[in-house]
Every structure is written in structure tokens, then in C-alpha cells.
Structure 1
Amino acid sequence: MSRRPARLQLDPDTVAVDSKPPQTGEVFNLWYSRWTGGEFNGRTVAHSAHRCHPAKDSGYTKADKDVKPGSVNRDKFICLYFARGYCTNGRKCQYLHRLPTDMDFFPHTVDCFGRERFADYRDDMTGVGSFNKVNKTLFVEKFHSMDGNIEMLVNKNFGEYGQVERTRVVKSKSIAFVTYRLESQAQFAKEAMYGQSLLKENVQEALNIKWANEDPDPVARKRNREDEEQTALETATKLLKKMEEKIQRVKQREEEGQHEEEEEEQEEEQEEEPQTIKTLPAPQPSSIFANKSLDAIKLLQKPKLASKLGYDSDSD
């Protein structure tokens, strides 16, 4: 868990009563913060006035209190408004304010924001997506210009929201494909980059993000399967490593506890030593005899006393 609180992305006092984006449909959906109906399948995209910056916006919230550090997240979801850059709750938010990681566990029937997915994609490939397959590739369109190093800009912008594995830019069609290592990161980036621009000052650009169709190429399908297996293997390895580290920490605490108990016992014994010396029992006969024998030997080492007692150098 992050040691700093989640940053307040938008001051609630500055939010206008009617802050809806320009009307492009008939009904305004509060959850998705966009107009629906009559928008020509999402062809009209307004430039977003806010953006998520994970490097400075991420932090702990109320949701982090129930998730132990290093454990697998099983019932906490990412804040959708945090992903869009205008959460007004900050550290008081009931959802997580951070990027999804491979240590998060989200049921396949919902996305990383907790929204229910469906069996089939929408006809225009927008929306939450399908739970029948893993899709980690986003389709990006509505570029204002394809001049310059677009691929570098795409990698830089989309790379803020997760680990990008592949990027393909088709300048002739003004589109791009971005593939993430984790599906949850693709879900996050889809919301975070919707209506954004590659350059901060380019307010005329508003990117439209959809789910990419499955590549019919058998080689690409095989590569995707191998990537999924590799990702699953790496995640399992990390889980095992964390379990081993946890076991080691428990053992270390137990050893430290035993060491402290031994030190306490030694301290108690040292405190009791003065009383023990005062009540020492009388010397045993064997010890008295040994002491007297030593004294006798010392006396015999003196020549004059030895001759008086009838001992000489050759005597026993």
C-alpha cells in the first residue's frame, strides 16, 4: 500500500452544478459520463478537460485498509473516476486509486472497475467488453495529425497506464493498436485515454478508444496464447515468491521471539544470582579434601619443611 494519501484530482467546490460534456446524444449516462443515443456509434468525441496522472495522483484510500500489503486483491476495484482524472473524494474514496497489477484478482465477469461484462462485444467494439475471451489490445482512432513520431507519442502516453508490449501505428488509416501485458491495464487505459490528446496543448484532438477485433492471423493467435501463458506463469511465480517471503518473515519473528525469551530468562537468572550466593550450601567433603591436598603439596615444595617431615627429593 502506498504511504501517501490519494491526491484530490478535482476540488468538489469547483465542480459546476451542470458539468455535462457537450451534448452529442439524447440521454446523459452519469456512470459513463457521456451522452448515449443518436451519437452515431461514438463517432463524436469531445476533448476531455481532465486526465489521470498515476505518478502523482495514486495513493491510499479507504479501500486499501482491507487489503494487506503483498496479498492478492480479491474484492476491491479501481476507481473509474480516478482513471478519468476527476475523482473528488481523494483518500476518502471507497475504491482504489492506483493502476491495476498482476497481483490483483478481478472476476472474469467484471472489469477492473467492477462493471459487469457481457458475453458478446457491442457492434462498434465500445463499452465494457466481453468475458468470453481475454482482450489486451486497444484500437485507437481520431488522431488530429499523423505528423512526427506518432509511435513514440503513443507509447509515451499509453505507457503511463501499464506495461505496453506492442504498438502498431497505421498512418495511412490514422489508426493505432496498443497491446498491454495485462487485460486489466488495457481496461484502465481505455477509460483513461478516451477523449485525450497525445500532446497536452492540442485541445483539438480527442482520441476514441475501442476494443480491437481478434487478429485472424494464426501466427498472431499463437503468439497471444503464448503471451497469456507466460503472463500466468510470471504471476504464479510472483505469488510463490511472496508466499516464501511471508513464511520467512513468520519464521524470523518466531526466532526473534524465542531469542527474546532466552534473553529474558538469562536476565531473570542474573537477577537471582546474588540471593543464590548468599544461600550456598556448605562445601562437600570431597571439595574440602581437594583444597587441603593442594595446600599440602605447596608445603612439600619447601625444602626445609620437607626435610623436617622426613621427605627428600627421591621420596614419593
Structure 2
Amino acid sequence: MKPARLQLDPSTINDSSKPEQTGQIFNVWYSKWTGGETNGRAGLVHAKTRCHVTKDSGYTKADRHVKPGGLNRDKYFCVYFARGCCCNGKRCEYLHRIPTEMDQLPPTVDCFGREKYMDYREDMSGVGSFNKVNRTLYIGRINSMDGNIELKLGKSFGEFGDIERIRIVKSKKIAFITYRLENQAQFAKEAMYGQGLGEDENETLNIRWANEDPDPNARKRKREEEDRAGIESAKRLLKELAAERASEVSEEVSEVEDEHEDEPTEVSTATPRPAIMPKPIISTDSLGLLLKLKEKRKVLREEREKSKGLELGYSSEDE
């Protein structure tokens, strides 16, 4: 994997051009600001920078703490990388890539580590709510609906995750995009805010969280998708835990073998115990034959005892 690319030259950054610090409270555990979204994006203007996932993604310092192919539970994504303006590159303390299903982060924060709230804002902007999973984005201020607008939306937003559905309302020049993962919707909301479709500088998209669709079929489909996602997540976690347990057991066995490797081998002089032979299986025909032989043997024994009594001069009638 290649190192993360510098999206901005650090020498071109000064105090006046740096984006304002996100959050209101400094979290000493994560050494970052949380509790808000004061990010210098007041007012909707066309974004000066843009994230190009293919050429900008790469490893950073945060990747040292995530095992290859393992679950990521404590490393967040760089919000400035999503906006296309990170000047740290491979020295960044946050991840420079797209979220995947292996990123199992707490439900009380978004993929950037910003704390969620109980309710959404009135305009459905901001970090979001921790009361429900929302994977659908509202796309407003689309300049033109000419041509294959669904293809344009899929190409621009598909760069940041797997899209499940795109619904377009041409009369209002808006669209709704649903991602497969909530983390990917969070990343795309930050990455495409203020951008244009196909890097159109004359277009400034307004990205917000979508309200719940009142259609009963849509609600039913959402419940089915959430149930399916929960089952898949549980299976994936069980598989990961089983793999971790198997790795721990193999390490314990290796340690025990290393401890007893230099010990002398004791030769046992005791007589080996005979192997326990399994009981033979007797068929119905063989069992009948054995019963007949047993009955015949009983008759012969009685006749032998009777003849022996006659030789001694008494019989059973004398008794």
C-alpha cells in the first residue's frame, strides 16, 4: 500500500487559511476536539478542494494500530482528507481511506470521531443523531437535470462507497442517495458538501441527512435491510472472534511446546494397556441361532442329570 499523498502543500498554509478547529470540547483520551461541527463551513459556497480517493488514499500513522484484515474499533478517519485539504499526508494521525464494513466504530460518534446528538438539527445538517441508523443523504441545489442525471450522481457519489439506491425528484431538482454502510454515508456527506457533479465549479451541492420516507413500502424495506445488516454484522463479528480465539490457542500451544522442548523424554516401562475392542454387532438371525443352541444345551444337561440319578439307584419320584 502506498503512503498517503499530501493534498495541500504545508508551506502554503498560514494561520488565516487554516480551517477552524472542529468541536467545542477537547477530549484528552483521543487528543482531539469533539462536541460540535464548528468547521468554518458557514454559508454554502463552492469548495476550494476536493478528495480524489484513487490518488489521495494511502497509509498513515493510524494504520499502525489496525491489523491487516482485522476489525478497526478505535481509529477514526481524517475529516480534512474527506474535504481534500489534509497537509499531513502519511504523518496524519487519522485514516486516509474510505470506510469499510471492517470499521466497527461506536454508534455515538461518526466515522470522523465527532460526537452525535440525540436529535437531528432542524435543517438535518450536522453530525447526526445516535438514535437511529441513517444511510440516506439529501442532495439539493442540483443545477441541471438534463441528460442521465442518475449516472452523474452514481459516478460522483459512488467514489465514496457502495450505493444501494438513487431516487431523483426532477421537479424540485433534488435527489436521495442511500449507501450500504452508514460510515460511507457520513464520509460522502462531508466529501461532497459544496462540490459539483463532475467537478462543475458553477454548481454547489447542499448535502444533508434525509428524513424518513413516509411510504409504507419504503419503511418495510428499511426494516428488512436493517435486520439483514444486523445479521451480517453478527456473523462477521463471530467469525472475527473465532479467528482471534484460534490465534490465541495456537500461541498458547506454541508457548507450551517451547517450555517442554528441552526437558528429557521419559521412557515408560509399564505394560501398555490393551486397546478396548468394540462389542460385536449381532444380527437377528445369529441371535435366533444362539437361543436355539442355548435351549438344546439345557435339555442335554437335564437328560445327563437324570441318567446320573438312575445310576445311583434313585429317581425324582423317591424324593
TM norm structure 2: 0.70
Equivalent residue pairs, number: 249
Identity of aligned residues (%): 58
| Aligned residue number for residue 184 of structure 1 | 183
Change (3 A) 1:30 1:246: closer
CA contact (8 A) 1:103 1:235 kept: no
- Deviates most, 236-245 or 64-73: 236-245
| Aligned residue number for residue 209 of structure 1 | 207
1:53 aligned partner, one-letter code: H
CA contact (8 A) 1:106 1:112 kept: yes
CA contact (8 A) 1:48 1:196 kept: yes
Structure 1 gap ranges (5+): 21-27, 40-44, 266-316
Match of 1:7 among 5, 8, 11: 5
1:134 deviation in Å? 0.9
| Aligned residue number for residue 50 of structure 2 | 51
d(CA) in 1 for partners of 2:50 and 2:214? 34
TM alignment of 1:113-152, pairs within 5 A:
113-152=112-151
1:107 aligned partner, one-letter code: P
SS at structure 2 position matched to 1:237: helix
Per-residue CA deviation, residues 233-280 of structure 1 (Å, 9 max, x unaligned), is 2233333444555667778889999999xxx99xxxxxxxxxxxxxxx
| Aligned residue number for residue 34 of structure 1 | 40
Per-residue CA deviation, residues 70-119 of structure 1 (Å, 9 max, x unaligned), is 22211111110011111111111111111111111221111111111111
CA contact (8 A) 1:167 1:176 kept: yes
SS at structure 2 position matched to 1:168: strand
Matched, 1:224 2:222: yes
d(CA) in 2 for partners of 1:251 and 1:107? 28
d(CA) in 1 for partners of 2:203 and 2:60? 33
d(CA) in 2 for partners of 1:11 and 1:235? 40
d(CA) in 2 for partners of 1:188 and 1:58? 13
d(CA) in 1 for partners of 2:154 and 2:246? 39
Change (3 A) 1:182 1:154: same
CA contact (8 A) 1:119 1:132 kept: yes
CA contact (8 A) 1:70 1:242 kept: no
SS at structure 2 position matched to 1:176: strand
TM alignment of 1:234-253, pairs within 5 A:
234-243=232-241
Per-residue CA deviation, residues 172-201 of structure 1 (Å, 9 max, x unaligned), is 10000000111111110000000111122x
2:139 aligned partner, one-letter code: V
| Aligned residue number for residue 166 of structure 2 | 167
SS at structure 2 position matched to 1:179: strand
Matched, 1:103 2:102: yes
Change (3 A) 1:107 1:252: closer
SS at structure 1 position matched to 2:142: coil
1:206 deviation in Å? 0.9
| Aligned residue number for residue 299 of structure 1 | none
Change (3 A) 1:255 1:106: closer
2:40 aligned partner, one-letter code: R
1:61 deviation in Å? 1.1
d(CA) in 2 for partners of 1:119 and 1:243? 31
SS at structure 1 position matched to 2:178: strand
| Aligned residue number for residue 89 of structure 1 | 88
d(CA) in 1 for partners of 2:57 and 2:151? 24
2:210 aligned partner, one-letter code: A
d(CA) in 2 for partners of 1:205 and 1:124? 20
Structure 2 gap ranges (5+): 23-37, 263-319
SS at structure 2 position matched to 1:34: coil
1:161 deviation in Å? 0.6
Change (3 A) 1:175 1:13: same
d(CA) in 2 for partners of 1:251 and 1:86? 45
TM norm structure 1: 0.70
| Aligned residue number for residue 27 of structure 2 | none
d(CA) in 2 for partners of 1:109 and 1:244? 27
d(CA) in 1 for partners of 2:187 and 2:129? 15
d(CA) in 1 for partners of 2:60 and 2:20? 26
| Aligned residue number for residue 71 of structure 2 | 72
d(CA) in 2 for partners of 1:55 and 1:33? 25
